[in-house]
């Protein structure tokens, strides 16, 4: 299978610039969403909002790991471990937020 490049293969030189641009835009968008989520959490101060803030922080971390890998600071093995570990954390936090908001109604502080 010559000429086939698997997904997540190492990119070097000019090949990595478009990918770095996409990761930068994704990170910027995620940072804006994270800022909005932090604002919502400060206003609401409930666990589901805190869990969503943490999930968006994990998503931003995922973009950071991808960018750091492209510039060569992480190996592909480190990249896969960290990025997919953050995927697990992100999914767990979103599920926890949904579960918590469905089981606890009208929460106003962390004492409940």
Class of residue 43 by CB neighbours under 10 A (exposed 0-12, middle 13-18, buried 19+):
exposed
| Average pLDDT in the chain | 83
76-104, pLDDT tens digit by residue?
888 899 999 999 999 999 999 999 888 87
Is 70 exceeded by the pLDDT of residue 110?
no
- What are the C-alpha distances in Å from 11 to residues 32, 59, 83? 28, 22, 17
Domain segments of the chain as ranges: 47-111
Q: Quote the pTM value.
A: 0.76
């Amino acid at each position: 299978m010559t000429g086939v490049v698997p997904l997540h293969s190492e990119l070097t030189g000019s090949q990595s610039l478009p990918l770095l641009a996409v990761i930068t835009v994704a990170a910027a968008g995620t940072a804006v969403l994270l800022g909005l989520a932090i604002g919502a959490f400060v206003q609401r101060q409930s666990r589901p909002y805190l869990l969503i803030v943490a999930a968006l922080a994990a998503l931003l971390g995922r973009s950071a790991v991808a960018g750091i890998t492209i510039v060569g600071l992480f190996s592909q093995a480190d990249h896969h471990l960290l990025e997919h570990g953050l995927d697990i954390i992100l999914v767990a936090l979103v599920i926890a937020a949904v579960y918590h908001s469905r089981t606890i109604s009208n929460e106003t502080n962390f004492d409940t």
